[in-house]
Chain A
Amino acid sequence: MKKLVALLLMLTMVLSCTALVHADDPIKVGIINLDPSESGYRQANVKNLQETFTAENGYDATFITAPTADKQLEAFRTFVNNEVDYILVSAAETTGWDEVLQEAKDAGIKVFLFDRMIECDPSLYTAAVVSDMRKEGETAVAWLESLGLDEYKILHIQGQLGSAAQIGRSDPLTEKCAADEKWTMVREGTGGDNWDANEARKIAEAAINAKEDFNIVYAENDGMADGVVAALDAAGITHGVNGDVIVMGFDCNKWALEKLLAGEWNYDGQCSPFQAVKIDELIKILEAGGEIEGLNELNQIISEEKGFDARTITQEDIDAYGL
């Protein structure tokens, strides 16, 4: 009998010990993202996060995707109440976060922003892993300028008006057109909140119907560039490397890069959705008691991004960078 009691005691001790070890082990992370149905970009982004923050990798991650700010705020509060270790946010709206961020800070929870910035005091979050959209635009315009054309007659298809990506990609081009008289904006239109290919097709169709003369299509994502190409094909206007019209897109979808390789398009600007690896890296540093280095004044870490030229792209590039 005594033996049995002793055995049981030993067993409980062993069990509780292992339990303690385990409870200490996984890092609790709450991830708030936008709805994956938004775009191919978002889908790759969500997938990347899910593949990175796994149990095998030492995480206990909870994913919430919500298209609106109020749902996101609600999720954020839940995470604070559940006392997670880290919260990762891609915000639907840039404002209105100060209060919850302060709550998280008070609770000792570290917050990472990814993909989208929030307008607040940078001290409220640990770091923001984002793309520099303006730089994407500047890279694209610089590439265009490097072609050294006599005339730049541009059909400009904008993304969701007011979004960071649209502003960042539009501004360098608009500024260039204002500054250089060789550059003219033939027509400007938006694919709307959905960055819609079909809307883009209509804008191109309208330009063609109105007999407007353009030699460059500057579309702010791949889908819209594809929509314009459909209109060009229907109207018998050639495009791509040996064509009459230069086609430019953004995001570097795999299929888009393949079009580059086939010479149907001319340029595609990268916009990396792969912030998860970087954040994982940063969390591991913090867990090991280290400090995050290389932050700018906005606590940002900018993703490395490049632009691809149809004349130089290779299959390896597609495999490496295609979404």
Chain B
Amino acid sequence: MLNDALLTMRGICKQFPGTRALNNVDFTLRRGEIHALMGENGAGKSTLIKVLTGVYEKDGGHIRVEGQEAHIHSPQDAQKAGISTVYQEITLCPNLTVAENIFIGRTGGALVRWKDYEKRTDEILKSLGIPARAKQELSRCSLAVQQMVAIARAVDMQCKVLILDEPTSSLDEKEVEMLFGLMRDLKSRGVGIIFVTHFLEQVYEVSDRITVLRNGELVGEYETRDLPQVELVARMMGKDLKELSGLEAKTENRAAVHDEMVYEASGLSSSEARPFDFSIARGEVNGFTGLLGSGRSESVRAIFGADRVTGGKVTVKGKPVRINRPHHAMKNGIGYLPEDRKRDGIIADLSVRENIILALQVMKGFFHPMSKAQMEQFADEYIQALNIKTASQDTPIRALSGGNQQKVILARWLLTHPDYLILDEPTRGIDVGTKLEIQRLVLKLAAENMSVTFISSEIEEMLRVCSRLIVMRDRKIVGELSGDGLSQAQVMKTIAGGGQ
């Protein structure tokens, strides 16, 4: 049994100024297993991985690969030791071909015979069952295939330990299945895979064992089959099981009780979205659902005026208005939390405080800057209200974990007291605890008469929060579900084309 240990990390410590990121953490990866590394954001998962891959220098502890002490001081050292990583954001070159991406940087000698490399690439792709061709430009492949190419590159570099950091967060279900197939295949070849993800279902689908971290410390190592899903969540959160189940009860009874339409659009279209009709009542929570790329994000962007609006009639609280730019939407009481937090949400180098007050400041106007005291007061209020974990208001938002960044963006919009709030993927890439907090918050806001449009890739989450679901397929609305029709099966059916 012990001989099976491919990688052992013992007593790993890592300190950052002011925080202890890892405290005496043990981790064991066996040959030919998929091992899920779980924990809330800030639990130490990324730090552990960065120590393992030589991005960070550890302060204490040992790393052994196949029983040999490994001295890892740089990513190159890690690679030599057979440890490869595929990150959430693809780090390949999109404008090169698949073959070039697989072999770039390791073509020995001055004479490069791409013909041979292309042949070899096709062999690798075939053996791993990756649907791509060597000469194809990488950017023309789907995101999932790009990820698989990254994995293929790692595999071909004789990696023994493969780290997959949130590989599925931007893949749709079919693609996830494809990826899992590849993971199982690698596992059967004796590769040890460390799988970092937020999707609990996926953990149970592929992983053999689970290691849970919390606050930089090891909680425990479990066989997946011995640890029920709720238990896992509880371990990660350090919370009581009952608290979690409370949510189910709350979400049971909710319905749009108001008739007043806060927002109505007919034939609304933008440079990215085809004409559609849409409305939302006061206090209603509805949602757009559909596969990735079905046009749900594009629709809400059209509502907010984020893309160039090309047509349609819009009324806000019964009054006809024109919303061509985000500023118009804001003036009409609409807030929008964008899908891509890093690209469209946070202003990375600005402080938490500035990020919180930004939208409100814009609404107050160019010639009415808020006083520092006012800003501080608002920031304090929302840091407390949303339980944002930050060293101070002055901390740049980029220093916060993903979940806390998302809360800051939420705070930004809540501070403007919108009548209608659009949340596009507010829980993506966020730890379970924060996820639940955000869900609860949405329901609370709705109870306070705010209208919310909620978009999420997790259908369960949508079902929990929304009272009405608008189902999209191929950039068109193909159905609307409410009341008894709200079930996972019905959503699947509608998406698949067999709706009501």
Q: A and B touching (C-beta < 8 Å)?
A: no
**A residues with CB within 8 A of B:** none
